Chain A
Amino acid sequence: MAAPSSTRIEQLGYLWTDERLRGIAFQVLAVAGLALFFAFIIWNTAANLKHAGLASGYGFLLDPASFDINQRLIDYESTSSYGRAFLVGGLNTVLVASLGIAAATFIGFVVGLMRLSNNFLVSRIATVYVELTRNVPLLLQIIFWWVVILALPRVRDSISVADVVFLNNRGIRMPQPIFEDAFQLILALFVAGCIGTFVLARWARKRHELTGRTFPVGWSAIGLIFGLPALSTLFVGLPVDLDIPLLGRFNFEGGFNVTPELIALWLALSLYTGAFISEVVRSGILAVDKGQIEAARAVGLPPGLRTRKIILPQALRVIIPPLTNQYLNLTKNSSLAVVIGYQDIVSIGETVLNQSGQALEVISIYMAFYLTLSLLTSLMMNYYNKRTALVRER
């Protein structure tokens, strides 16, 4: 009940004590402040650009790039556009990131299990590896591996592995598979095998739930996915030729070359992230309640099933979220490629920036690229979390 004598001013004073109104005022102020800040930046940028005589906009992406890119997954000439150069760079980032993720996951799981091993030497070696790689800057490791590879013998004195793979200071020369037409048949069978397995697994699960009868899904999957294509080679022969590198006058001819930059970056990223992943794996496995394993033993599950049905599903629930985080880190860290000249998106962007002076645009492309990747990952992560979240009773 408001006192009848209160003046307007006093009533206004009460407004300040109203939490909701105060909240709204605070937010309006924040937005206004931010708007002012951006206006200031945009105003300055426009003035500075005008002063420097630079045009803004993304039109330059269509201009010819006129620089070369050695490492490329798609066709690219120096007459191609800046836009295409960015595409090549983006694909190179995806290439090294996927190679790195595969290797880091493998290393991480192996080392994570090694650290949990009862064997003193094995667990110590794993610990030393993890501590050494985790506590040294990644950039230093990238440069170090690059220097190591550049110190390999020259092309003429290449280290050969079984005379098909050659290691030298220009990278690794490997045989290149050449696929004949019949290979498409094998590919088609492989895909059909995958789909078949998927359908079979669903059917088997349903039947198991309904009748309790099990079906050897694992073996039939191997049969379907690998057996079918293997069987078909009996009829069409192996439709793959290998182009084996041969030492020519100056360099190897044939085969394909993996550049020292790619190897160094891949090695450093995998070893570095592998150490972090091993910690994730270790803590995930340790997080599984001992009682769960004991209970699985008590009901007589054999060791294989115990791992597959009891330990792994529970450990993975803990492992997967930080694991994806590590994948994302690896992808972002691949931008350090610029130091050794692996032509990823940042490295190519830098060249474009130096040539065209379109700083704002180039950096916005970087940000858009990496933000899209992390947004996609976190969307997938949220989906996964929702699916596997424990339903807790309150």
Chain B
Amino acid sequence: MFFRDQGEMLPERPAPITEVGIVGWLRINLFSSYGNTALTLVSAALLALIVPPFVAWGLIDAQFSGDTGAVCSGVGACWAWLDQRLGQFFYGFYPADAHWRVNVTALLLVPALLYVLVDNLPGAKFGRWFSYVYPLLAAYLLVGGFGLEVISTDKFGGFMLNMVVGLTGIVLSLPVGILLALGRQSRLPVIRLLSITFIEAVRGVPLITLLFVAIVLLQLFLPPEVSLDQLLRVIIMVTLFASAYMAEVVRGGLQAIPKGQIEGAQAVGLGYWQTMRLIVLPQALRISIPGIVNTFIGLFKDTTLVIIIGLFDLLGHARLLQTNPDWIGDVDHEAYLFSAAVFFVICFLMSRYSVSLEKQLSQDRH
């Protein structure tokens, strides 16, 4: 056997060129075997087939300015309508001189959300209160009254309508969902049965049937002298719908709380509601946040269903553009692609947030 003397180390050599740098990366990730190489080639061919024509259509050959569809050649995409219609896509038929009210509401949403979702912000105590008051403030700004010009809710439309229905639905469904989740875990059999029935019945039917209830049945259920605003009716049904899903998310959080927490609370003499409010729910809701965000993403996408009952949200305005004589036939795909892009950006960011939160929570627990 041969032993090298300790002093006599071989000089370090760089790793072979095939293992490091771009070449190494390519070898490991794309061409590690014959099968892998074949997959890479097929994927690359697929991309080459799809991406360049799409970019050419959407950007290079596209028409970006003009007043009617006549300016569009038909070779590339027609984005000329954006200039005229962007306002409608975001604000619907909300009066132009009141757009600032929507903008202010949207801007205030940022601190309102941050104070709920992020701990240890400066001025947290005041901030929390601001978050609680925000829904009322938003309603006041959007609808008006008390000095502001009243704007009827049938003027609500475009992306703003999606936001209003989605956010109101999720905010209102949270307390209902918490109660339902507690009810489902309750030791009282009647309460448990009622909660389970409600949750499973609502989760078992599509949202669209509930929206039909909102437009054709709700009026039937109420005395004739009570007439509910259409948006309000939609929000009621969307809230009921979301609260059933919310209940299941919160239940997941409740089940993750160790029994010792409840027993501890009982040992120090807390009653049921005190135990829940002070001990269990703060912990359960904390771990439910990713689930709540996911529920919101789902609900937010589902707000497009309002077009079925005749409201004009972002998707509704995209459809409206197709029938406009100035643009008919020229914007078949463009308006939908634009709407899809708007939804994508919002939902994608939220889902990233939910994922990162989930990672953080699982780290905290270990």
A residues near B (Cβ < 8 Å) are 23, 26-27, 30-31, 34, 41, 44-45, 47-49, 51, 117-122, 125, 131-132, 134-141, 143-144, 147-148, 151, 332-333, 335-336, 338-339, 346, 350, 353, 359-360, 363, 366-367, 370-371, 373-375, 378
Contact = CB atoms under 8 A, between A and B. Distances in A.
Contacts of B101: none
Contacts of B36: 118-119
Given A332-B205, A363-B213, A363-B217, A48 B351 contact: no
Contacts of B46: 125
B208 A338 contact: yes
A370 B204 contact: yes
B347 interface: yes
Interface residues of B, number: 55
A137 B301 contact: yes
28 contacts: A27-B188, A30-B190, A44-B222, A45-B220, A117-B39, A118-B29, A118-B32, A119-B29, A119-B32, A121-B40, A122-B39, A134-B347, A135-B351, A139-B307, A139-B315, A140-B315, A140-B339, A140-B343, A143-B336, A144-B336, A147-B332, A147-B336, A332-B205, A350-B212, A371-B201, A374-B203, A374-B204, A375-B204
Interface in B29-88: 29-30, 32, 36, 39-40, 43-44, 46-47
B359 interface: no
A137 B333 contact: no
Nearest to B301: A137
A122 to B, nearest CB: 5
Nearest to A46: B220
B126 interface: no
B216 A363 contact: yes
B139 interface: no
Interface string B193-214: 0100000110111101100110
A367 B204 CA distance: 8
Contact of A370 (B206, B219, B307): B206
Interface in B311-337: 315, 318-319, 332-333, 336-337
A374 B209 CA distance: 15
A134 B351 contact: yes
A162 B91 CA distance: 50
Contacts of A51: 224
Interface in B245-302: 297, 301-302
A48 to B, nearest CB: 5
A148 B336 CA distance: 11
Given A26-B191, A148-B333, A336 B208 contact: yes
Contact of A139 (B216, B221, B304, B348): B304
Contacts of B212: 350, 353, 359, 363, 366
B187 interface: yes
A118 B319 CA distance: 42
Nearest to B37: A119
Nearest to A126: B43
Contacts of A144: 333, 336-337, 340
Contacts of B318: 140
Nearest to B50: A125
Chain B at the A interface: mostly helix, strand, loop or mixed? helix
B14 interface: no
B301 A132 contact: no
A41 B189 CA distance: 25
Interface of B: 29-30, 32, 36, 39-40, 43-44, 46-47, 187-191, 194, 200-201, 203-206, 208-209, 212-213, 216-217, 219-224, 297, 301-302, 304-305, 307-308, 315, 318-319, 332-333, 336-337, 339-340, 343-344, 347-348, 351
B340 A140 contact: yes
A111 to B, nearest CB: 13
Contacts of A335: 206, 208-209
Contact of A132 (B217, B336, B344): B344
Q: Please list the 3 inter-chain residue pairs (A to B) with the smallest Cβ-Cβ separation, ordered nearest first.
A: A120-B29, A135-B347, A374-B204
Contacts of A375: 204
A332 B201 CA distance: 13
Given A117-B39, A125-B47, A370-B204, A30 B194 contact: yes
Interface hub of B301, B302, B315, B343 (most chain A Cβ within 10 A): B301
Contacts of A41: 221
A351 to B, nearest CB: 13
Nearest to A117: B39
Main secondary structure of the interface of A (DSSP, over half): helix
A360 B217 contact: yes
Contacts of B305: 139, 336
Contacts of B339: 140
A140 B336 CA distance: 7
Contacts of A336: 206, 208, 305, 308
B209 A136 contact: no
A26 B209 contact: no
Contacts of A31: 190
Contacts of A135: 297, 301, 343-344, 347-348, 351
Nearest to A125: B43
A130 to B, nearest CB: 10
B194 A140 contact: no
A68 to B, nearest CB: 22
A371 B209 contact: no
A26 B188 CA distance: 9
A136 B190 contact: no
A261 to B, nearest CB: 15
Contacts of B29: 118-120
A139 to B, nearest CB: 5
Nearest to A346: B208
Contacts of A134: 347, 351
Given A134-B351, A370-B205, 4 more contacts: A135-B351, A151-B333, A335-B209, A374-B204
Nearest to A37: B221
B351 A140 contact: no
Contacts of A47: 223-224
Tell me which of B32, B43, B44, B351 has the highest count of chain A C-beta atoms within 10 A of its own C-beta.
Answer: B43
Contact of A23 (B187, B206, B217, B221): B187
Contacts of B308: 336, 338-339
Contacts of B190: 27, 30-31
B28 to A, nearest CB: 8
A41 B226 CA distance: 13
Contact of B205 (A139, A360, A366): A366
Contacts of B200: 374, 378
A134 B305 CA distance: 16
B148 to A, nearest CB: 32
A121 B343 contact: no
A377 B216 CA distance: 29
Nearest to A34: B194
